[in-house]
């Protein structure tokens, strides 16, 4: 069964600190892996998209890594800011023209001053 699992479920860090969020998936084959940021009550916003041949992708203070052999991905956030408080969702895209997305449950990150 195609699944995306994320850890930790929630995380609290102090402003300015770094953190790493984990994602394991069983989706196979897959087209690409994405990380989304979702603020409370809002729609997901794309942070990074990686194909199976890419190992790392950065977007400002966000850096995603992908190991297609072990089916693991991580999202590293550096120098966290209060505005980083949100849910971070790992999403895997299934191949095919219709681009079906399979979502993880997300990691809820709280950045405290």
From 14-22, 46-54, 58-66, 75-83, span contacting another protein (CB under 8 A): 46-54
User: Applying CB under 8 A, which part among 13-21, 43-51, 66-74, 78-86 lies near another protein?
Assistant: 43-51
Q: Pick from 6, 34, 37: which is nearest to 22 by CA?
A: 6
Q: How far apart are CA 90 and CA 46, in angstroms?
A: 10
Minimum distance from residue 91 beta carbon to another protein (Å): 8
* HSE of 90, CA atoms in CB hemisphere, 13 A: 28
Residue numbers of the site for another protein (CB under 8 A)?
A: 31-32, 34, 41-46, 49-51, 89, 93, 95, 97-106
């Amino acid at each position: 069964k195609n699944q995306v699992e994320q850890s930790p479920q929630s995380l609290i860090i102090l402003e300015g600190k770094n953190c790493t969020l984990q994602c394991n998936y069983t989706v196979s084959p897959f087209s690409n892996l994405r990380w989304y940021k979702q603020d409370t009550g809002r729609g997901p916003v794309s942070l990074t998209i990686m194909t199976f041949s890419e190992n790392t992708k950065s977007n400002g203070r966000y850096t995603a890594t992908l190991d297609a052999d072990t089916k693991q991905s991580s999202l590293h956030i550096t120098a966290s800011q209060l505005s980083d408080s949100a849910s971070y969702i790992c999403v895997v895209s299934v191949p095919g023209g219709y681009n079906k997305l399979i979502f993880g449950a997300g990691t809820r990150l709280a950045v405290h001053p």
